[in-house]
Amino acid sequence: MKEINLSIVLNLIRSHGPLSRTDIVQRSGLSQGAVSILTGELLASGFIREIGEGQSKGGRSPVLLVLNPHAGFVIGIKLTERAIVAAITDLEAAVVYSKLYPVDCLQDPQVAIEAIIQVVEKTLADSAIPRSDVIGIGIGLAGIIDSQEAICCYSPILGWRQVPLAQPIEQRLHLPVYIENDVNTLTIAEHWFGTGRGVSHFLVVTIGRGIGMGIIVNGQLDRGIIGGAGEFGHIVLQPGKPQCSCGKAGCLEALAADPAVVRMAREAIEEGRQTTMLQGVHDISQLTFDHVAQAANQGGEVALEILTEAGCWLGRGLSYLVNLFNPKLIILSGEGTKTGDARIEAARQVMMQYIFDRLDKDLDLIVKPMEEEAWARGAACVVLGELFKHPINRDNRIGLLRGVV
């Protein structure tokens, strides 16, 4: 009960500060004595601080309390097949240091674990953040992640199955480590600190090399039974073709993600269609999504046609999400949203065409491109989320799991 009450007080101050102790009593329903004890513990731990006096309504002026963003720092790691992105954030998720580290052979879990350890050590050294000020490490990667057991159950991009990722890193670095699906990390960041703050039902859909989704229902992240909720890219919309990276055929990802756009562009060129997509490209094998998007932005007919087709498939998939979840907000993000291409507009139009009557009421769909740093920041927010749920004494590393201190 004490931990719950500490969490209530800390989150009130984080979300609505500066607040006086009387404000906290009124907002929380806790007694004046309980609030005095709880704020005293949070002040002693350094998580909150006093900033002066508020306006008096009669009697002594109240002392105001705010979150102390520099009471600790968190390291976030985004793991891809060719790079590790690291970021250090304060307790308000503001990035104080970040860097991308190209790394080969991350398909080998042992190589990846060693690389993560080296990246953390180098990040701490380069940032000059004392290790004693670090609360924990969050790691985000694509795939089905058992966040409770800290195991990567399956990652098609990395080729991993049943990899215990956190434990060996904890043993070497003596810091708590959390792992989470990468799209879920973005969703957690949006929930605690971003556009989804205060929204009880929303979805984050990412599009790029793949298509993923994070789900907030009743203010809580829905991971599913084994961490597999949100594999939106693998709903089958066109049975039989084209082949998907997951081994099946006709998945949304194979119809609308960046590689699908590139595949359709190459097919159009091989059919002899005239296009500007090959400008500056010496060989069709070098064609990328950026070439297609650039041609579309310049009015290229074939490129626009391809992106529109991909967008129509995406929009149909989004309509299924609206009909299933009835969200208040859908955030479209990922590297595939940076170009401002026709795919997004087509997706928006088709989504509205297919959703059930009245489910468009108060529905917001926003496009929010994010850089690589945002993924690492999201991984850091996994740890911050645990901090705000379990704000125990910082000397005990705020009670984060597995007790490595």
Which pLDDT does position 170 carry in this prediction?
Answer: 95
Residue 302 has pLDDT above 80, yes or no: yes
The per-residue pLDDT for range 309-324, each reduced to its tens digit, is 999 999 999 999 999 9
Q: Say how far apart CA 47 and CA 391 lie, in whole Å.
A: 9
Residue 274 has pLDDT above 90, yes or no: no
Q: What is the DSSP letter of 112?
A: H
Residue 95 has pLDDT above 60, yes or no: yes
Q: Where does the pLDDT of residue 392 fall: very low under 50, low under 70, confident under 90, or very high at 90 and above?
A: low
Tell how strand 329-333 and strand 364-367 pair up: parallel
Percent of the chain with pLDDT over 70: 94
Residue 133: exposure state from Cβ atoms within 10 A (0-12, 13-18, ≥19): middle
Task: Output the pTM of the full model.
Answer: 0.89
Which pLDDT does position 280 carry in this prediction?
Answer: 75
Which pLDDT does position 3 carry in this prediction?
Answer: 80
Q: Where does the pLDDT of residue 394 fall: very low under 50, low under 70, confident under 90, or very high at 90 and above?
A: very low
Question: Any long-range contacts for 156-159 (C-beta under 8 Å, 24+ apart)?
Answer: 156/245, 156/246, 157/80, 157/81, 157/209, 157/210, 157/245, 158/79, 158/81, 158/106, 158/107, 158/112, 159/107
Residue 401 has pLDDT above 50, yes or no: no
| Beta partners for residue 155, in sequence order | 160
Q: Where does the pLDDT of residue 54 fall: very low under 50, low under 70, confident under 90, or very high at 90 and above?
A: low
Mean pLDDT of 140-154: 93
Specify the higher pLDDT residue, 402 or 150. 150
Q: Say how far apart CA 393 and CA 72 lie, in whole Å.
A: 12
Determine the topology of domain 196-367 in CATH.
Answer: Nucleotidyltransferase; domain 5 (3.30.420)
Q: Where does the pLDDT of residue 130 fall: very low under 50, low under 70, confident under 90, or very high at 90 and above?
A: very high
CATH 3.30.420.40 for the 73-189+373-399 domain, yes or no: yes
The per-residue pLDDT for range 231-259, each reduced to its tens digit, is 999 999 999 889 998 889 999 999 999 99
Sequence ranges of the domains in the chain: 2-67, 73-189+373-399, 196-367
Contact 348, 313 (CB under 8 A): no
Which pLDDT does position 402 carry in this prediction?
Answer: 34
Pick the CATH number of 2-67 from 3.40.30.10, 3.40.50.1580, 3.30.1490.70, 1.10.10.10: 1.10.10.10
Which pLDDT does position 231 carry in this prediction?
Answer: 93
Residue 398 has pLDDT above 60, yes or no: no
**73-189+373-399 against 196-367: fold identical:** yes
Q: Where does the pLDDT of residue 81 fall: very low under 50, low under 70, confident under 90, or very high at 90 and above?
A: confident
Number of H helices, E strands in the chain: 12, 16
The per-residue pLDDT for range 341-352, each reduced to its tens digit, is 799 999 999 999
Residue 134 has pLDDT above 50, yes or no: yes
